Amino acid sequence: MTGNKALFHNFFHTFGKAVKTADGTLCKIEGHGTVILNKQIALKNVLFVPNLACNLISVSKLSTDLHCSVIFNDRDCTLQALNSKKMIGKASLHNGLYILPTSPKIEISKSFTALGKVDTVMLWHFRLGHPSFQYLGKLFPALFINKRPNSFSCKVCSLAKHTKSSYFPSTYKPSYPFALIHSDIWGPSRVKNADNCKWFITFIDDHSRITWTYLLKDKSETASVFVQFYNMVLTQFGFKIQLFKSDNGSEFFARSLGDFFKEKGIVQISSCVGIPQQNGIAERKNRHLLEVTRSLLFTTNVPKYLWGEALLTATYLINRIPSKVLKFQTPQSIFLQHFPHFKPISSILPLKIFGCTIFIQNIAPNKSKLDPKSLKCVLVGYSSLKKGYKCYHPPSKLFFTTMDITFYEQDSYFTQAEIQGETWSDFQPQQVSPPNLHSQPSELPSCSPLPADLSPVNAPIDSPVVPVTNSPIPTLNTLPENTPTQIDSLQKNTTQTASCLHKKKKTYP
């Protein structure tokens, strides 16, 4: 029995029933459902009793439902599976009660489902990739009428973000676009992305701090990806990159890349060996990207094989969010001051929660009249090449780009059960030999994109979803449809007219 409705993974209303507590009081039962405590313990037919101040578990029901033995002693109580003999749970004795802990992911899922339905502050916190509440208050004061930013907290942020900074804050000296490009590589990720990528590389314009992120299958692709980026910049914006700054990674000193630098007259600057802090802007950007990536994945239980999509979405969001270093302008707005004729395609898309459930039109060629008219998919970002959202259909492993979508933002597509067996440490870079100077021991993999119109026409890598080159960049000006000042209209699930529907078949290991 529980008095906390947010604990339920599914819920059914009950009428006219009550339960008698230890002191003889009758308490009304309002429903029942399943509560998942951790990856091994799912409790069925748990009663929802609103007046109950704590959660109570029946030992007989526990042992019957889970087919386990329950062993009590003077310090703890262990649950042991009868078949495998493995311990599936352990409760510690505190003040006469055995307390069974739940996993942190359960808490995250709970906070998402509970808060997302009622609080516009949390809704925007999730949509924007978990910026701090103080910062959100500065950006959107209308959200905090009669509310204090420090009265909000988010468990996903606690798990996803670093608490200490190893880099000094950067100073900002405006110049002009593409005079200096900062770059860094991250990887290899322990988990391959959906398109088998394990690395990513960032290119950051020093003037606007706008970021392009590319996913890489191998870091040997560095030279070819930079050539693509250089050509995109020249063709789309008419600028030639003058300075290129990176750390001392060997991939930045490959002969092919050095020859290209010489041919184009690009001056290469690198940090000293063992001092990645000298490449601080790129290192900081990577850390920020990884923090937002983790937050996006954790919020809606998205499996790690979609980390690349989360990373590109993180880039999209960071490019569009005001930065303190830029005196609360966004990277995109500074960049577009020099290129006013560019209008990022994706900037017209209202922001939605990454990983939420969506329904798109079913265009299967062999569909009969009795087949479903729509497909249940998961939202995995914003396309920079087409006017539409990026959608993924896990059963068929197909990606789609479309605007003909019905959103269920408050429903996470993936449940806790679907990420069983994964560990948080999988998001840490794999140690390689020799040690990779780019890898931060506690960081995640990430990549970022630019505004659609600003992105290169051809994706640098054969990525199913992403137009690798650019990630859409946001600014407050590009969030109008979603801005908190118009939040009421955004709360509704919206269906938009179709513009394009694109699919690509991919298979994953």
Site for Zn ion, rule CB under 5 A: 130, 154, 156-157
Contact predicate 36/416, CB 8 Å:
yes
Burial label, 379 (beta-carbon count in 10 A; 0-12, 13-18, 19+): buried
Whether cis (ω within 30° of 0) applies to the bond prior to 441 is: no
- The smaller minimum CB distance to Zn ion, of residues 124 and 399, is found at 124
Closer CB to Zn ion, 456 or 474, in the complex: 474
Region label for 127, one of left (φ > 0), alpha (ψ between -120 and 50) or beta (otherwise):
alpha
Residue type, 362: N
- Residue closer to Zn ion, measured from CB, 157 or 452: 157
131 vs 467, beta carbon nearer Zn ion: 131
The nearer residue to Zn ion, 154 or 473, going by C-beta atoms, is 154
Residue nearer to Zn ion on the CB measure, 131 or 474? 131
For Zn ion, the closer CB: 157 or 194: 157
| In contact, 438 and 187? CB cutoff 8 Å | yes
Rounded to the nearest whole angstrom, what is the least distance from the CB of residue 157 to Zn ion in the complex? 3
Q: Reduce the DSSP state of residue 48 to 3 states and report it.
A: strand
CB-based contact 451:462 (threshold 8 Å): no
Q: What torsion, rounded to 10 degrees, do the Cα atoms 303, 308, 309, 314 define?
A: 110
Residue 295 Cβ, how far from Zn ion at the closest point, in Å? 6
Inter-residue contact 377 to 393 (CB < 8 Å): yes
| Residue number with CB closer to Zn ion (130 or 285) | 130
The owner of tokens 């942190």 is 104
- Minimum gap (Å) between residue 130 Cβ and Zn ion: 4
Least separation in angstroms between CB 132 and Zn ion: 8
Cα 465 → chain centroid: 15
Tokens of 483: 């801005």
- 267: CB partners within 8 A, 6+ apart: 242, 243, 244, 261
Q: How far is the CB of 408 from Zn ion (least distance, A)?
A: 20
Burial 315-342 (b: 16+ CB within 10 A, else e): bbbbbbbbbeeeeebbbbbbbbeebeeb
Provide, rounded to whole angstroms, the least separation between the CB of residue 400 and Zn ion.
Answer: 28
* Cα gap 115→134, rounded to integer Å: 18
Q: What is d(CA 469, CA 460) in angstroms, rounded to the nearest whole number? A: 6
109 vs 222, beta carbon nearer Zn ion: 109
User: Nearest-CB residue to Zn ion?
Assistant: 154
- Specify the residue, 295 or 475, whose C-beta has the smaller distance to Zn ion: 295
The least distance separating Zn ion from the CB of residue 154, rounded to whole angstroms, comes to 3
Residue that the structure tokens 């969010």 belong to: 321
- Work out how close the CB of 127 gets to Zn ion at its nearest, in angstroms, rounded to a whole number: 11
Smallest separation, CB 320 to Zn ion (Å): 18
- Cα gap 466→346, rounded to integer Å: 13
* Spatial contact of 143 and 131, defined as CB atoms under 8 Å apart: no
Query: Could you count the other beta carbons within 10 Å of the beta carbon of residue 216?
Result: 27
Distance CA 415, CA 16 (A): 31
Compute the distance between CA of residue 13 and CA of residue 6 in angstroms, rounded to an integer. 14
Shortest distance, position 150 Cβ to Zn ion, whole Å: 14
Is 103:39 a contact under the CB 8 Å cutoff? yes
Would you say 300 and 356 are in contact if contact means Cβ atoms under 8 Å apart?
yes
Nearer to Zn ion, 154 or 391 (CB): 154
- The span from the CA of 321 to the CA of 476, in Å, is 7
| Minimum separation from the CB atom of position 99 to Zn ion (A) | 26
